[in-house]
């Protein structure tokens, strides 16, 4: 006995369409990832005392430190500012990238993406 699927389910043409759709999504994701990697971000912490520059790959491209925050007797404050700035930058970039990818994938859970 042969089972019949409703029209539009199964069959070679439906499979080819799904493959084309997946290939298109993959191409869009590749292009978007390249754009996101090139994006530049600036993050300011400590009331403007420290600015961190990063790209979409989460690589630090620069840092600006106001002279008044450099106190040889309070090195811990400068260290805390740098840690806070880098953590904020990485978190924001990851969130931005994930939101952009979700716009393409429709929130599909694709292993290994983010």
Give 18-77 pLDDT, tens digit per residue.
888 888 888 999 999 999 999 999 999 999 999 999 999 999 999 999 999 899 999 999
- β-sheet bridge partners, residue 41: 54
C-beta separation of 50 from 85 below 8 A: yes
Residue 1 or 71, more confident:
71
C-beta separation of 51 from 44 below 8 A: yes
Residue 52 or 105, more confident:
52
CATH architecture, domain 11-105: 2-Layer Sandwich (3.30)
Contacts 24+ apart (CB under 8 A), 83-91: 84/45, 84/46, 85/43, 85/44, 85/45, 85/46, 85/50, 85/51, 85/52, 86/52, 86/60, 88/43, 88/45, 89/41, 89/43, 89/52, 89/54, 89/58, 89/60, 90/54, 90/58
| 9: its two tokens | 């389910």
- β-sheet bridge partners, residue 53: 42, 62
User: What span, in angstroms and rounded, lies between the C-alpha atoms of 88 and 6?
Assistant: 51
| 78: its two tokens | 């400068």
- pLDDT at position 7 is 59
């Amino acid at each position: 006995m042969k089972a019949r699927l409703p029209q539009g389910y199964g069959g070679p043409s439906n499979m080819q369409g799904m493959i084309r759709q997946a290939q298109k999504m993959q191409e869009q994701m590749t292009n978007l990832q390249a754009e996101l990697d090139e994006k530049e971000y600036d993050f300011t912490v400590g009331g403007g005392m420290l600015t961190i520059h990063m790209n979409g790959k989460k690589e630090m491209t620069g840092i600006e430190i106001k002279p008044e925050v450099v106190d040889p007797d309070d090195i811990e404050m400068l260290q805390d500012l740098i840690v806070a700035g880098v953590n904020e930058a990485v978190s924001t970039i990851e969130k931005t990238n994930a939101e952009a990818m979700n716009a393409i994938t429709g929130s599909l859970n694709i292993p290994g993406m983010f």
